[in-house]
Structure 1
Amino acid sequence: MSASRPLRPLTERSLRRAARHLGERDPALKRVLDALGPPPLWARAAGFATLLHIILEQQVSLASARAAFQRLLAVASPLTPKRFLELDDKALRLAGFSRQKTAYGRVLAEAVVQGDLDLDGLATLGDEAVRVELLQVKGIGPWTADIYLLMALLRPDVWPRGDRALAVAYQQLNGESAVPSDEELAKRALAWRPWRAVAARLLWHFYLNRGGRRAG
């Protein structure tokens, strides 16, 4: 398939089917399925609010990011780019935004308002084209772009390189002595194509049930 065309988004049904397929190919993932059942879809609504939420999740616990996002919604609902730009530094600081993430949020909001980033149009693009569009925005790196692809656009073959929870889950599930590097894990994930996003969900599913904090 052409890289410029998006694959069909995951659904609950296709997720379960792909998870079974992966379990037949990978004994470690089969153990997750046997013990826990299929993972959640962890779908998020595509758009500005979700992308901003993912930016909040960078380098912090998901619980902390979720709390900050809920405080933001309390003062800016519905959360639109224009409404976000109306909030001053104090309001965002009280919501839990760092100075850096305040700047990132404003850059994102301005890009959407000015038409430099067409979030609605991303659904029509292939994975790499979506990454190109998102990575032009300061504050959006590869992990943020991939999480948006995986959870908001529900692309089936996205691997969020750099996700610590995935690396820890892989290590524990396979009984390895060390956590694999981002590069090493990305190479191993090639074995799960064309369902790497489903494999990621299975690993998060395992991680959460081992006391971790990865969720959508």
Structure 2
Amino acid sequence: MNRTSQDDFLRHDDVLRSHLSALVVQDPTLGDVVALCDPVPLRFEPGGFRGLSRIVIGQLLSVQSAAAIWDRFRAVMGDVDAARFLDLDEVAFDGVGLSNAKYLTLRAIAKAELGQTLRYDLIETMPMFEAMKMLTAIKGIGPWTAEVYLSFCVGHPDIFPAGDLALRKIVAHHMGCDVTPSISETMKLTQKWSPYRGAAARLMWRYYAVIKNKEGILI
């Protein structure tokens, strides 16, 4: 994908609202979904080591568990940055709840940042494919983690993290699929929402939460 104007990045609520309006024009079936889910949260977060480590910590955990571990992690860290993390040994994180795999991933991220093979400033301006390549070159970071970082910590407007199970389930629900689509199938199904897939992802996450909680319905 070519470079995207920074003005289109999802870093402000008014940009998200504009993209949602354009999305409904592009796919009118989303009109009722937008009305049901209003307001759709922006969910733009600080980036860098802090933002990426929070995403890694939250992998495969409930929101509540991830938040508890993140709070304990911050209590140990103080300032959450790469240099500070490498100054501490693994014993310092006993009782935090980090798995060994996540601890090693955070070390790899911190070393890549300090070694300049991970450049957050470049990630914010380079084409999406190149940004994904830089992030996934780090051991422990897969496509889902990279996509979520680019979505919430960069605000890239055209990313739909198809590896997210909740997104795949709600896409199936919305599009009338009998079974939850695979990652590749979800990517194909949501291609029609480009170049507003970032707004579509936020809308679908919100839609999932609304449908899941409405009258006890689970999807």
Stretch of structure 1 that moved more, 21-30 or 134-143: 21-30
Answer yes or no: is 1:7 the counterpart of 2:8: no
Work out the CA distance in 1 between the residues paired with 2:212 and 2:87. Answer: 39
Measure how far apart 1:91 and its partner are. 2.8
1:59 alignment partner in structure 2: 60
Contact 2:83 2:114 (8 Å CA) reproduced: yes
Secondary structure of the 1:97 match is coil
Count of matched residue pairs: 210
Contact 1:32 1:206 (8 Å CA) reproduced: yes
1:45 alignment partner in structure 2: 46
Work out the CA distance in 2 between the residues paired with 1:90 and 1:28. Answer: 52
User: CA RMSD for the aligned pairs?
Assistant: 1.7
Answer yes or no: is 1:84 the counterpart of 2:85: yes
Measure how far apart 1:27 and its partner are. 4.2
Letter in 2 for 1:125: M
Stretch of structure 1 that moved more, 125-134 or 194-203: 125-134
Measure how far apart 1:169 and its partner are. 1.3
TM-score computed with the length of structure 1 as normaliser:
0.90
Contact 2:162 2:168 (8 Å CA) reproduced: no
1:105 alignment partner in structure 2: 106
Measure how far apart 1:177 and its partner are. 2.1
Work out the CA distance in 2 between the residues paired with 1:210 and 1:78. Answer: 38
Contact 2:151 2:157 (8 Å CA) reproduced: yes
Measure how far apart 1:23 and its partner are. 2.0
Letter in 2 for 1:152: C
Contact 1:142 1:161 (8 Å CA) reproduced: no
- Output aligned runs, 1:7-156, within 5 Å: 7-8=5-6, 9-10=9-10, 11-156=12-157
Contact 1:7 1:155 (8 Å CA) reproduced: no
Percentage of identical aligned residues: 34
Structure 1's unaligned 5+ residue stretches are none
Contact 1:107 1:138 (8 Å CA) reproduced: yes
Letter in 2 for 1:19: L
Stretch of structure 1 that moved more, 169-178 or 97-106: 169-178
2:217 alignment partner in structure 1: none
- Shift of the 211–77 alpha-carbon distance from structure 1 to 2, 3 Å rule, reads farther
1:208 alignment partner in structure 2: 209
TM-score computed with the length of structure 2 as normaliser:
0.89
Structure 2's unaligned 5+ residue stretches are 214-219
Secondary structure of the 2:190 match is helix
Letter in 2 for 1:134: L
Measure how far apart 1:13 and its partner are. 1.1
Measure how far apart 1:116 and its partner are. 2.0
Measure how far apart 1:187 and its partner are. 0.2
2:183 alignment partner in structure 1: 182
